[in-house]
């Protein structure tokens, strides 16, 4: 059996997230349908993880097994000709039979984009969260330092998160300001459900002055505090890369 | 009568261009409908010019007259609450009665974005032209120099262009390369129908080697040559600013 790894970019606007589910079309089922069409039978894609409805990806990783003797190009250019315009394969690679996109991942890089303009922006509406209030970036950077390290992120898991442990290692939270945009780059060894969006929501609370930078420390205390700040909307988030 | 100037941003993807026409919904009619709703009667918007179907704008300028005594905020925040998400007012200003967005404009800045990645990009598909072939940027810059100055752009007018004279002054054509993107910034005192898109299409012909940089000079000779190169697609184009 061949084990084929795909690197996938998608605009999540029209999808109910990555994973197959009863309500709404998902990215996974759209890819599986195109693969089945190409391979002449059902295919199961295993991914590096899920993304919520509306979240985008530049580097989602998924893999599938097949006996078919098609060239790798079939799984990039060929698949791209079957996929809708908001999903594309950026690369296909032959992997050892033991490779698994989720179990073998050692880290992920997410990017969150905030637009701080006075008026809402039609050209940014699908890819950036519009925060009208002015944000204290220096305070956000100080607060971001509290996320870095191996910590218990129990306060930063969304409802329905099924992870067995809530301990994760965040390597870096970098905040770049350019004109009316803030770009938050978050890297770590793994993330709980909605963890990045809850981190960003908390940092924006700090940016507006509703929380002090050191208040973030409280969220890592036991017992986990009830007030968790806001969850940033999904459309500002993009999975940039999965590391192996 | 008050004369109100609006600066308008829009995502042109869903529209049949700026100007009211029988086939398809336009940006102008969408704005006029929201203004009529706010002012309680029909309103006529006069713009700095038209944009083709699919072209975007960050700084389209339009103006309308009204007797209503509403504060300026009504025409920015108020109007934004009535407009669809792909159109927004970025500013409203009280102007002298004689101000006209088209006749008073002294220049315009258009930006054209080209994506040169190996695979098509779902996240860029609405705002950048995907050129798969590798482009010689140095050759494109040399060719771009031939566009600068006061010249007869008769070879760079689209079908149905109604302009009386085809002489225009192009101030600059700047080409910036960053990663897999080329950004072409074109500034001039005015542009014929599809002129920027035909200029960009010609520059891409130079970039791929199908035309030499000096071949561009031929398009300014008399009689106008028949072969005009390709017209770049509309979705890569954005009207950045109108100068007064």
Residue range A42-91, pLDDT digits in tens: 999 999 999 999 999 999 999 999 999 999 999 999 999 999 999 999 99
Q: Is A147 strand, coil or helix?
A: helix
Say yes or no for a CB contact (<8 Å) between A9 and B87.
Answer: no
A86: closest chain B residue by CA? B122
Neighbours of A208 (CB within 10 A): 15
Q: What average pLDDT score do residues A196-205 get?
A: 96
Kindly report the nearest CA distance between residue B70 and chain A, in angstroms. Answer: 19
Q: What average pLDDT score do residues B37-61 get?
A: 96
A77: closest chain B residue by CA? B119
Q: Are A202 and A216 contacting, i.e. CB atoms less than 8 angstroms apart?
A: yes
Q: Are A6 and A72 contacting, i.e. CB atoms less than 8 angstroms apart?
A: no
pLDDT at B228 over 80: no
Tokens describing residue B195 = 């002129």
Element (H, E) at A170: strand A167-178
Closest-CA residue to B203 (of B170, B164, B169, B160): B170
What is residue B77's DSSP assignment?
I
CATH 3.40.50.720 fits B2-95, yes or no: no
Q: How far apart are CA A126 and CA A120, in angstroms?
A: 11
CATH of segment(s) A107-243: 3.30.70.660
Q: Chain B interface residues facing chain A, Cβ-Cβ under 8 Å?
A: 9-11, 56, 58, 76-77, 80, 85-91, 117-123, 125, 127, 238
pLDDT score at B23: 84
B55: closest chain A residue by CA? A123
Q: How far apart are CA A120 and CA A117, in angstroms?
A: 7
- Name the more confident of B187 and B222: B187
Kindly report the nearest CA distance between residue A203 and chain B, in angstroms. Answer: 26
pLDDT score at A217: 92
pLDDT digits (tens, 9 = 90+) for B1-33: 999 999 999 999 999 999 988 889 999 999 999
Average pLDDT along chain A:
95
pLDDT score at B227: 55
Q: Report residue A202 CA to chain centroid gap.
A: 17
Q: Which residues belong to CATH 3.30.70.580 in chain B?
A: 2-95
| Residues in chain A closer than 8 A to B123 (CB atoms) | 9-11, 56, 58, 127, 238
Q: Chain A interface residues facing chain B, Cβ-Cβ under 8 Å?
A: 9-11, 56, 58, 76-77, 80, 85-91, 117-123, 125, 127, 238
The catalytic site residues of A sit at 52
Say yes or no for a CB contact (<8 Å) between B123 and A56.
Answer: yes
Q: Give the confidence band of A33 by pLDDT, cuts at 50, 70, 90.
A: very high
Tokens describing residue A166 = 């809530």
pLDDT digits (tens, 9 = 90+) for B129-175: 999 989 999 999 999 999 999 999 999 998 888 889 999 999 999 99
Kindly list the distances between the CA atom of residue A214 and the CA atoms of A145, A182, B240, in Å, as whole numbers in the listed order.
10, 21, 41
Share above pLDDT 70 across residues of chain B, in percent, rounded to a whole number: 98
Kindly list the distances between the CA atom of residue B199 and the CA atoms of A143, B146, B203, in Å, as whole numbers in the listed order.
49, 11, 6
Kindly list the distances between the CA atom of residue B237 and the CA atoms of A125, B20, B113, B146, B185, in Å, as whole numbers in the listed order.
18, 20, 7, 21, 10
Say yes or no for a CB contact (<8 Å) between A86 and B121.
Answer: no
Q: What average pLDDT score do residues A22-30 get?
A: 93
Full DSSP string of B176-208: EEETTEEEEEEEES---TTHHHHHHHHHHHHHT
Kindly list the distances between the CA atom of residue A186 and the CA atoms of A114, A190, B118, B217, in Å, as whole numbers in the listed order.
14, 11, 27, 50
Q: What average pLDDT score do residues A112-138 get?
A: 96
Q: Which residues belong to CATH 3.30.70.660 in chain A?
A: 107-243
pLDDT score at A228: 63
pLDDT score at A90: 97
Kindly report the nearest CA distance between residue B76 and chain A, in angstroms. Answer: 8
Q: What average pLDDT score do residues A154-175 get?
A: 92
Examine the predicted complex and report whether its ipTM is higher than 0.85: yes
State the binding site of B: 110
Say yes or no for a CB contact (<8 Å) between A80 and B125.
Answer: no
Q: What average pLDDT score do residues A26-44 get?
A: 96
């Amino acid at each position: 059996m061949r084990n084929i790894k795909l690197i996938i970019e998608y605009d999540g606007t029209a999808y109910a997230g990555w994973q197959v589910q009863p309500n709404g079309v998902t990215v996974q089922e759209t890819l599986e349908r195109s693969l089945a069409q190409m391979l002449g039978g059902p295919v199961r894609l295993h991914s590096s993880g899920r993304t919520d409805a509306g979240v985008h990806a530049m580097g989602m990783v998924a893999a599938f097994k097949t006996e078919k003797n098609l060239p790798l190009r079939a799984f990039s250019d060929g698949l791209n000709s079957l996929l809708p315009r908001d999903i594309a394969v950026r690369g296909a690679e032959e992997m050892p039979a033991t490779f698994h996109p989720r179990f073998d991942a050692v880290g992920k890089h997410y990017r969150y984009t905030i637009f701080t303009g006075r008026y809402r922006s039609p050209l940014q509406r699908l890819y950036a969260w519009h925060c009208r209030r002015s944000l204290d970036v220096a305070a956000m950077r100080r607060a971001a330092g509290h996320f870095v390290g191996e910590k218990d992120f129990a306060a930063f898991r969304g409802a329905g998160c099924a992870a067995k442990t809530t301990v994760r290692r965040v390597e870096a939270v970098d905040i770049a300001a350019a004109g009316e945009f803030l770009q938050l780059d978050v890297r770590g060894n793994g993330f709980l459900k909605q963890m990045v969006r809850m981190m960003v929501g908390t940092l924006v609370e700090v940016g507006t002055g509703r929380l002090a930078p050191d208040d973030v420390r409280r969220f890592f205390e036991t017992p986990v505090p009830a007030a968790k700040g806001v969850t940033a909307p999904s459309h500002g988030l993009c999975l940039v890369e999965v590391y192996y």
